[in-house]
Amino acid sequence: MLLAAAAQRTKTIKLGTAVNSLPYHNPFLLAERLVTLDHLSRGRAIMGFGPGQLLSDAYMLGIDPTKQRDMMLKAAEVIVRLLRATRRPPSGSACEAADTRGRVAGAE
C-alpha cells in the first residue's frame, strides 16, 4: 500500500519492494501484487526475491529451513513465467494451477 501511494505521488523514482521472502508467499498472489504495483507506477517497480533468513520465521510457518532455497527458486521461476505470460507455470506441489482460461466459475 505504501509503494502504491508513493507511485501516485511521484513520477520518476523507482519503487522497490526490498526482499520478498518467496517461501513465505503464494507465488501467484505475489506476482499479482507486483504486476499491480508495476502498472500503478508505470513500469517503475523493482522486485527483490530471497529465500528468507530467520529460522524462527520458517518454523513458525511450518517450513523446513533446509528447503527454503529450493522453494525460492521454484517460486521465482513461477513468478517470472507469470510475468512473461506463459500458459502454465512449472509443476510442483505449491506451484500448480489449473488452466482456467475461458471457464466461468460454477458453470461446470
pLDDT digits (tens, 9 = 90+) for 86-108: 455 566 656 565 555 544 444 44
Question: Does the CA dihedral 57-60-63-67 come out positive or negative?
Answer: positive
Residue type, 84: R
Tell me if 29 is assigned to some domain: yes
pLDDT at 24: 93
For a pLDDT cut of 70, what percent of the chain falls above it? 78
User: How many domains does the structure of the chain reveal?
Assistant: 1
Question: Is 57's pLDDT higher than 50?
Answer: yes
Is this prediction's pTM over 0.85? Answer: no
Given a contact cutoff of 8 angstroms between Cβ atoms, the answer to whether 15 and 38 are in contact is: no
Tell me if 54 is assigned to some domain: yes
Question: Is 19's pLDDT higher than 50?
Answer: yes
Tell me if 28 is assigned to some domain: yes
Tell me if 63 is assigned to some domain: yes
Mean pLDDT confidence for 27-49: 92
Residue 17: count of CB within 10 angstroms of its CB: 15
Tell me if 96 is assigned to some domain: no
